[in-house]
Amino acid sequence: MRSRGSALPSVSSLEEAAAVLQAANNEGRGLRIGRDVTTDGLDRVLEHEAGDLTCTVESGLRLSALNAALALEGQRLSLDPPGDPTIGALLSENVSGPLRHRFGAPRDLVLGVTLVLADGTIASAGGKVVKNVAGYDLSRLVCGSRGRLALIARASFRLHPLPQSQRTLVVATDDAAETVAVLFGSRLEPSALDVLHPGRVAVRFEGSETAVDAQVATAQALVAGNEGDEEIWAESRRRQQEARRTTRFAPGELRDILERLPEAVVRPSAGVAYTATGIQPTSSEPQSPPSAEALHRLEERILRAFDPKGTLRE
Amino acid sequence: MGIDASFVDGLRSALGQQHVITEPEQLRVYECDGLTGHRALPQLVALPGTTEEVQTVVRACYGARVPFVARGAGTGLSGGATPMAGGAVISLTRMNQILEIDLESGRIVVQPGVANLDVTRAVAADGYFYAPDPSSQQVCTIGGNVAENSGGAHCLKHGFTVHHVTGATLVLPEGDTVELGGKALDPDGMDLLGVVVGSEGTLGIVTEVTLRILRVPETVRTLLAGFETTDAAGAAVSGIVSTGILPSAIEMMDRLTIEAAERSTAPGYPAGAGAVLLVELDGVAAQVEEDAAEVERICLEFGAFELRVAADEVARALLWKGRKSAFAAMGRIATDYYVQDGVVPRTKLPEVLRRIEELSEEYGLRVGNVFHAGDGNLHPLVLYDSGQGETERARELAEAILEACLEAGGSLTGEHGVGMDKACSMPRMFSERDLAVFTRLRDAFDPEGLCNPGKVVPTPRLCGEVPGPYRAHALERIGVAERL
């Protein structure tokens, strides 16, 4: 077991992870994954099958390191969340960035996982092939679980080819909802579409050079706008990271949401707005109280099933 | 306990006399799904019309400890809707309403009994479609699609059912209702929707589903290429994918399935072809045209001796005709067939196809291959004659084919589900520990084990104590050698 600087234990194998969790579990000690124990030592790309557009990696690997390795074969994991999370954090937070628009969140690209449960049980679910419906999809279940179900030790992902070409269009507008509606109503296929509220809509097109140029030209004919660059996506991710509140809404209610929020980074197709201010708009999708209670009970039951002693903490 | 007169009366007064079936001859309709080899007679079939009525039936079953299974159109191929003898079937066919079309949000809210194709039909005039397209899409229901995480020919680009369900109302096995997700994506917390989709009706009953609908692409281009061998066609598939092109579908048929298709629907595929490849591209016109030219070039490079491009919708339908009716066409060349649903990493396709050929010779039974080549999902059709006592041999051959898929790092099932059919094969893909964790999850949803028991996870009662050779899960196997 490696220790880096501080006294944080960093596990570097499945067996070590199992031993650390099991010890805490036996001693009745709470454990926060990523804080009390890290997976920094689990940082290998175990398999990259370029011909299959899949890879299997250990969870302590940083997304940037994975994408650097994949780029050697002209491929990428199509996720661009703020910061540079480890694969484990990426999944347990189910965090995505502007590419969410076309490629989905981590839960959409994960194919399988190997988990270490609080009692030291090592278990896998899913697989390493892009199509598979055998067994319960625990690789999706752990997405967003914030480290409370299990330690994610390994994961397999679906990959995409690096685009030959990419261009960004920035539309300055005081009616972003209209710009978005026009783009959604077109047959364009952007890879990313964010509203940097107030005032701008950013759209990214990826593909072959001619196809990207054709899409940009079509988009400009529809909504005008000027050529942008990476800076606007960096701004989008930065504001997302600094956001204190996440608001979810039906994508068709974009106009209402924009009117209620003084500023936000909004990903309209996902129906998500990230805001720095603490203003709480009324949720457009309220849960009925009995359903919310039943949901809470169900989540508690699942947590207890995976971690009966409540060893894993957020 | 169990289904007695008061149980039946209770449901009849809640649902209406005609919506509770107990007459044996009427119950027979429900004794199996598309996996006709497994049959059991339920004691009762309930046809609820609302979420509340589903809750009523589930609560009654829970109270009397009656096992139950939800059922849509019954087109599943793995026995996911096979009833338990003496149990209840909850048929959702009455819940067939489209509740809301929200084009601005790109969402549609439907009841589970709505047929897959009816979703697209409801929004087609507005220029939208629902992407997952299982072959049975004319009749199979959204509820069944959610249970099985259904795919289809076009999921290569557009994804599976799980990528298109954004929300669901779920009646839990004890009768409570929860709302999962909504029209927005990625709700906080563990991804319950992601695990419920594809859980084969074992974690509850979905009574309302919110789906993503997509804009109809600007251009669709369909190409058909004839090759001498499946090896050559397989190499072309790898060639296409490795250039970075992502077609919406890549389908392959081998000599035997081509022969069957010609005898049945006569699609007029290239004469003498050992394999045909059907490639469909969709998206923005500029990209599709460029990719189509590249696909043609690659097919020729890998030895395609004939290429056809569909110029219009009629020509496109003709190219697809043989593929879509391939299973049914087998009836022209064999009395019985058994279809498998294994998956292999795409790069292993040629080697696994050769292995299937060897196995076919070894067992003395013909195997037709029709499959989703782009994602490595094989549908080997084992042909046999039950009248000649070949049934058992066919099953063994099918098992051996699955074994070959797993050996190559693949999966037992790509889209048909585990159900009853493959529950006993699960230990070939998952370790005992993996399966024990599956059971922990299932018990959290269904502590009494009443919701579609006997499916997905093997039980000793069903499979015996030692179900097949054990191997570590594909993910766990990776990298083990280098650590030793």
CA distance A178 to chain B (A): 11
Q: Tokens at residue B225, please?
A: 């290429």
- Shared domain for B86 and B106, answered yes or no, is no
Tell me what the mean pLDDT of segment B54-60 comes to. Answer: 98
pLDDT in tens, A151-178: 999 999 999 999 999 999 999 999 999 9
Across the interface, of B285, B444, B483, the residue whose CB is closest to A302 is B444
- Shared domain for B437 and B376, answered yes or no, is yes
pLDDT in tens, B441-472: 999 999 999 999 999 999 877 787 554 556 67
Residue A51 contacts B, CB cutoff 8 Å: yes
CATH label of the domain that carries residue B14:
3.30.43.10
The CA–CA distances, whole Å, from A85 to A40, A80, A93, A249 equal 11, 10, 10, 26
Q: Could you give the 3-state DSSP secondary structure of residue B334?
A: coil
Q: What SS3 string covers B54-79?
A: HHHHHHHHHHHCCCEEEECCCCCCCC
Nearest 10 degrees: CA dihedral of B439, B442, B444, B446? -130
- Shared domain for B117 and B177, answered yes or no, is yes
pLDDT in tens, B149-187: 999 889 999 999 999 999 999 999 999 999 999 999 999
List CB contacts (< 8 A) between A142 and chain B: 190-191
Q: Tokens at residue A44, please?
A: 């290998």
* Measured distance CA(A267)–CA(A273) in Å, rounded: 6
**Confidence bin at A8 (pLDDT 50/70/90):** low
- Shared domain for B447 and B342, answered yes or no, is yes
According to CATH, where is 3.30.465.10 located in chain A?
2-161
CA distance A96 to chain B (A): 9
According to CATH, where is 3.30.70 located in chain A?
165-275
**Confidence bin at B47 (pLDDT 50/70/90):** very high
Helix (H) or strand (E) run with residue B254 in it:
strand B249-254
- Shared domain for B474 and B345, answered yes or no, is yes
Domain A2-161 has CATH 3.40.30.10: no
Inter-residue contact A44 to A58 (CB < 8 Å):
yes
List CB contacts (< 8 A) between A128 and chain B: 345, 409, 474-475, 478
List CB contacts (< 8 A) between A294 and chain B: 172, 176-178
Boundary (domain end) residue, out of B42, B61, B91: B91
DSSP count for chain B of H helices, then E strands: 19, 18
**Confidence bin at A216 (pLDDT 50/70/90):** very high
DSSP 8-state assignment for residue B130: -
pLDDT in tens, B323-369: 888 888 888 888 888 888 999 999 898 899 999 999 999 999 999 99
pLDDT greater than 50 at residue A4: no
B-contacting residues of A 79-118, CB under 8 Å? 94, 96, 100, 104-105, 107-108, 112-115, 117
Counting beta carbons within 10 angstroms of the beta carbon of residue B370, is it exposed (0 to 12), middle (13 to 18) or buried (19 or more)? Answer: buried
pLDDT at B318: 86
pLDDT at B478: 76
- When the pLDDT of each residue in chain B is averaged and rounded to a whole number, the result is 92
Range of the domain at B280: 219-330
Inter-residue contact A113 to B390 (CB < 8 Å):
no
Least confident residue range of A71-75, A272-276, B240-244, B298-302: B240-244
**Confidence bin at B274 (pLDDT 50/70/90):** very high
- The angle formed by the CA atoms of residues A9, A15 and A18, to the nearest 5 degrees, is 70
pLDDT greater than 70 at residue B275: yes
Q: What SS3 string covers chain A?
A: CEECCCCCEECCCHHHHHHHHHHHHHHCCCEEECCCEECCCCCCEEEEEHHHCEEEEECCCEHHHHHHHHHCCCEECCCCCCCCCEHHHHHHHCCCCCCHHHHCCHHHHEEEEEEECCCCCEEEEECCCCCCCCCCCHHHHCCCCCCCCCEEEEEEEECEECCCEEEEEEEECCCHHHHHHHHHHCCCCCCEEEEEECCEEEEEEEECHHHHHHHHHHHHHHHCCEEECHHHHHHHHHHHHHCCEEEECCHHHHHHHHHHCCCEEEECCCCEEEECCCCCCCCCCCCCHHHHHHHHHHHHHHHHHHCCCCCEEC
Across the interface, of B216, B375, B440, the residue whose CB is closest to A131 is B375
CA distance B192 to chain A (A): 6
Tell me what the mean pLDDT of segment B221-248 comes to. Answer: 92
| Contact assignment for A250 to B426 by CB distance below 8 Å | no
- Shared domain for B349 and B452, answered yes or no, is yes
- Shared domain for B79 and B131, answered yes or no, is no
CATH label of the domain that carries residue B317:
3.30.70.2190
pLDDT at A5: 46
- Shared domain for B38 and B166, answered yes or no, is no
Q: How many domains does chain B have?
A: 4
B-contacting residues of A 237-276, CB under 8 Å? 246, 248-253, 269-272
pLDDT greater than 70 at residue A257: yes
| Contact assignment for A214 to B430 by CB distance below 8 Å | no
Boundary (domain end) residue, out of B215, B234, B254: B215
- Shared domain for B199 and B291, answered yes or no, is no
CATH label of the domain that carries residue B175:
3.30.465.10
- Shared domain for B87 and B108, answered yes or no, is no
Of B444, B134, B409, the residue nearest A52 (C-alpha): B409
pLDDT at B469: 55
Of B204, B279, B200, the residue nearest B245 (C-alpha): B279
**What is the percent of chain A where pLDDT is above 70?**
94
**In this structure, are strands B219-227 and B275-283 parallel, antiparallel, or unpaired?**
antiparallel
pLDDT in tens, A64-77: 999 999 999 999 99
pLDDT in tens, B21-34: 999 999 999 999 98
Least confident residue range of A103-107, B152-156, B431-435: B152-156
Q: Which one of B178, B242, B251 would you mutate to disrupt binding with A, by most A Cβ within 10 Å of its Cβ?
A: B178
Across the interface, of A128, A143, A249, the residue whose CB is closest to B194 is A143
- Shared domain for B250 and B228, answered yes or no, is yes
Of B399, B416, B453, the residue nearest B88 (C-alpha): B453
CATH label of the domain that carries residue B373:
3.30.70.2740
| Contact assignment for A132 to B434 by CB distance below 8 Å | no
List CB contacts (< 8 A) between B412 and chain A: 134
- Shared domain for B343 and B478, answered yes or no, is yes
* Measured distance CA(B470)–CA(B414) in Å, rounded: 21
| Contact assignment for B191 to A127 by CB distance below 8 Å | no
List CB contacts (< 8 A) between B346 and chain A: 51-52, 130
Boundary (domain end) residue, out of B159, B183, B215: B215
Of B379, B382, B303, B300, the residue nearest B343 (C-alpha): B379
pLDDT at B321: 85
Tell me what the mean pLDDT of segment A89-108 comes to. Answer: 97
Least confident residue range of A126-130, A289-293, B126-130: A289-293
What's the topology of domain A165-275? Answer: Alpha-Beta Plaits (3.30.70)
Inter-residue contact A94 to A105 (CB < 8 Å):
yes
